[in-house]
Structure formats: structure tokens, C-alpha cells
Structure 1
Amino acid sequence: MGNGDRQRASVRTSQERQAQARPRPDVACRTCASANVTVQFGKYGYYLNCGDCGGNTPAKPVCAACGQPGKVSKRGPEFTATCAGGHTWAYWTNPA
């Protein structure tokens, strides 16, 4: 990996972190519309657990680039989504 590739990778990672820090309208409680949620894994897959009302919402990401449904995957507290079109994006990061 060349020096230019490392710089581009670090910029992309920084941009992804900045985008993750902003509230996301597609990641909110369906009961109270709160963004105070954590992603959990349960019997039916990943879901959002609301810290305000205790409600559960299925984690159903949709790709902004092509509109296809995405599949959630986890690495530590970070969750990413990948669609069938090959796009990958940061979905959510649970608070520590």
C-alpha cells in the first residue's frame, strides 16, 4: 500500500467517523422517533433498542446510492451495512 493510498484510507475513515457522529434519520426508534438507540442482536437478527422508551425497531438499512436493502455486520462497537450492489457504509456505532 503506497503512501497516497494510506492518506486516502485515513481521509475516508475520518469522513466515515464524522458522518457517524451526525444523527441519522434511518436509525431511529419507530415508537418515539428518538435517536438514543443501540444496535443489538436477537432471535430475528439485528435491531435497534431505544434508550428512551425501551422499544425495539428492526435494523433495516437501505443503500443511499442504489436504494437496495443492506445487510448489517458488526466489528466491535461499529456496525456496517453492505448492499447487493456492492456498496458498504457505516451504519451505526454503539456508545462505549
Structure 2
Amino acid sequence: MRTSQERQAQARPQPEVACRACGSANLSVQYGKYGYYLKCADCGGNTPAKPVCAACGQPARLSKSGAEFTATCPGGHRWAYWTNPA
């Protein structure tokens, strides 16, 4: 039997992103001096959070609501980008 967190993670797929330092997928979105980035829980490395719209190919901006991050492109497309682990 799956927990509600597992069902929620399956409902909102994470983008194909890995840590650029170690290749791990154990990441969480953080906010810093230069904007949002992905922080690796395994090695502590940082990877830029640069969402690109699948529909129009334009770079998107991230917005946060609790542990969920939503990307919006200038073309008006909006999608769930990431959900940080609890």
C-alpha cells in the first residue's frame, strides 16, 4: 500500500533533472541570491532550476506555493514543475 506522499509524487512527475556534481536525483528547490536552484541532499551541490516550456520552448519563471513549485512561460503555459519532499 502506498502512502499519500508516494501517490502525490506519482501524480506530479518531476522533470528529468539530476545534480550536476554527482548525478543524484535527490534534489529540492531552494531560493538564493540568484533565484531558484536545485540543492542536492547527497553532495550539497547546486544545479540551476531552468524550466523550459514543452509546448513553446520558451524559458519559464517559477512560483512557489508551500512545497509546490509552478512554472509559467511568457506564452501563457503553466505546469507543475517540482514538489519538495516533506
User: What is the TM-score normalised by the length of structure 1?
Assistant: 0.74
Higher relative contact order (CA 8 A, sep 6+): 2
Q: Share of identical aligned residues, percent?
A: 72
CA distance in 1, matches of 2:73, 2:53: 6
Which residue identity does 1:93 align to in structure 2?
Answer: T
The partner residue of 1:73 within 59, 63, 69 is: 63
Structure 2 equivalent of residue 13 of structure 1: none
Structure 1 equivalent of residue 11 of structure 2: 18
Structure 1 equivalent of residue 44 of structure 2: 54
**SS of equivalent to 1:89:** strand
Structure 2 equivalent of residue 4 of structure 1: none
Which residue identity does 1:90 align to in structure 2?
Answer: A
> Is the 8 Å Cα contact of residues 38 and 51 (structure 1) preserved in structure 2?
yes
CA distance in 2, matches of 1:35, 1:83: 24
Structure 1 equivalent of residue 32 of structure 2: 42
1:17 Cα deviation (Å)? Answer: 6.0
Residue-pair matches, total: 79
> Is the 8 Å Cα contact of residues 77 and 94 (structure 1) preserved in structure 2?
yes
**SS of equivalent to 1:69:** coil
RMSD between aligned residues: 1.9
Gap regions ≥5 residues in structure 2: 1-8
Which residue identity does 1:57 align to in structure 2?
Answer: T
CA distance in 2, matches of 1:69, 1:17: 25
CA distance in 1, matches of 2:29, 2:44: 13
